[in-house]
């Protein structure tokens, strides 16, 4: 399946057909202005306003499709990228689909430390990463590769412990398992093939990245507007960690101004309280669709 030369003209992007990553990836693509529909029924979808085709695949297959150049880009969990040991470039981390690959063992059992795993059997869908984790510690384990419902294998006496993806840990607890160590912290990644792209496609990838960065920055920011007495402008400017100077507009009420600016979301509540104490009122916060800096 290896393609040495870039033959197709459209930029091909792989996304998960149906699963935990699908909705957020589709939202992101729509959010950066890429228009398409019918992705639920088709394996390949042409976008309406760009020379981009989407390929809808099982997430496990995405790293290899991108590695082999069947797709130029892909959206897939770091867990799959590193498990498949794919020869691809990770372009961006996307802050969704967060989970971790963790080792868990029966809560009331005798396995607690890495050394306790010597000679034990571990069930997993991630044999490569699990084997690597233990062999780096010089511990010998037997692996049983299982594609689903890994968490019930200790009860069935198929394995002594498991290595599986966890987000809240609820499934582990429900199966009497205790999480012991993390092998990998994972999030969705945007990956690119290491095969050379045509100049036209590479240009499209660069444009795509500018939009993704703008979209991500917008998600982390809020637009705020407030009214304030003119004589509090200086103290308000000191509070606002603005990217650039805030916009200050005089109001009909002569001693008042409106101040507009963008702030990072993680500082929002602290900034709000400080602004209020400095004399600001009618503070309004709005989400931002996208921003190009």
Helices (H), the chain: 22-31, 62-67, 78-83, 127-136, 170-174, 199-219, 233-239, 268-277
Query: Taking CB within 5 to 8 Å according to partner kind, which of Zn ion, ligand ATP, none is near residue 97?
Result: ligand ATP
Q: Which of 11, 14, 15, 21 binds ligand ATP (CB under 6 A)?
A: 21
Site for ligand ATP in 181-220 (CB under 6 A): 186
Query: Taking CB within 5 to 8 Å according to partner kind, which of ligand ATP, Zn ion, none is near residue 79?
Result: ligand ATP
Let me know how long the chain is: 293
Instruction: Please report whether residue 59 would count as binding Zn ion according to CB under 5 A.
Output: yes
Contact 25, 15 (CB under 8 A): yes
Q: What DSSP character marks residue 120? A: -
Query: Taking CB within 5 to 8 Å according to partner kind, which of ligand ATP, Zn ion, none is near residue 21?
Result: ligand ATP
Instruction: Please report whether residue 163 would count as binding ligand ATP according to CB under 6 A.
Output: no
Query: Taking CB within 5 to 8 Å according to partner kind, which of ligand ATP, Zn ion, none is near residue 132?
Result: none
Helix or strand run (H / E) with residue 193? strand 188-193
Backbone angles phi, psi at 35, to 5 degrees: -100, 130
Stretch that binds ligand ATP, among 75-83, 106-114, 193-201, 280-288 (CB under 6 A): 75-83
CB closer to ligand ATP out of 131 and 187 = 187
Report how far apart, in Å, the C-alpha atoms of 42 and of each of 39, 51, 56, 57 are: 5, 18, 7, 10
Measured at the CA of 208, the angle between CA 206 and CA 213, to 5 degrees, comes to: 95
CA–CA separation, 85 vs 188, rounded Å? Answer: 16
Instruction: Please report whether residue 60 would count as binding Zn ion according to CB under 5 A.
Output: yes
Cα distance between the two ends of the chain: 40
Residue 92 Cβ, how far from ligand ATP at the closest point, in Å? Answer: 15
Instruction: Please report whether residue 97 would count as binding ligand ATP according to CB under 6 A.
Output: yes
Query: Taking CB within 5 to 8 Å according to partner kind, which of Zn ion, ligand ATP, none is near residue 99?
Result: ligand ATP
Q: Which residues bind ligand ATP (CB under 6 A)?
A: 16, 19-21, 58-60, 77, 79-80, 97, 99, 165, 167, 186
Q: Which residues bind Zn ion (CB under 5 A)?
A: 59-60
């Amino acid at each position: 399946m290896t393609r040495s030369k870039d033959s197709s003209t459209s930029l091909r992007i792989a996304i998960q057909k149906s699963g935990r990553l699908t909705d957020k990836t589709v939202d992101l693509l729509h959010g950066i202005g890429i228009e398409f529909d019918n992705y639920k029924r088709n394996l390949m979808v042409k976008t309406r306003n760009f020379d981009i085709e989407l390929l809808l695949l099982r997430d496990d297959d995405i790293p290899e499709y991108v590695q082999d150049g069947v797709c130029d880009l892909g959206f897939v969990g770091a867990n799959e990228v590193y498990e498949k040991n794919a020869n691809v470039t990770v372009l961006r981390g996307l802050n969704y689909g967060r989970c971790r690959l963790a080792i868990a063992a029966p809560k009331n059992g005798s396995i607690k430390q890495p050394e306790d795993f010597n000679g034990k059997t571990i069930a997993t869908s991630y044999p490569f990463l699990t084997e690597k984790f233990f062999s780096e510690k010089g511990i010998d384990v037997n692996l049983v590769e299982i594609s689903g419902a890994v968490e019930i294998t200790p009860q069935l006496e198929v394995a002594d412990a498991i290595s599986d993806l966890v987000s809240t840990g609820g499934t582990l607890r429900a199966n009497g398992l205790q999480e012991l160590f993390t092998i990998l912290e994972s999030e969705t990644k945007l990956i690119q093939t290491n095969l050379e792209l045509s100049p036209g496609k590479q240009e499209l990838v660069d444009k795509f990245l500018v939009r993704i960065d703008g979209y991500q920055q917008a998600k982390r920011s809020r637009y705020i507007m407030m009214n304030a007495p003119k004589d509090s402008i200086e103290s308000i400017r000191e509070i606002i960690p603005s990217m650039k100077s805030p916009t200050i507009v005089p109001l009909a009420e002569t001693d008042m101004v409106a101040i507009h600016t963008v702030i990072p979301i993680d500082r929002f509540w602290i900034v709000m309280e400080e602004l209020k104490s400095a004399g600001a009122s009618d503070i309004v916060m709005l989400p931002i669709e996208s921003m190009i800096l």
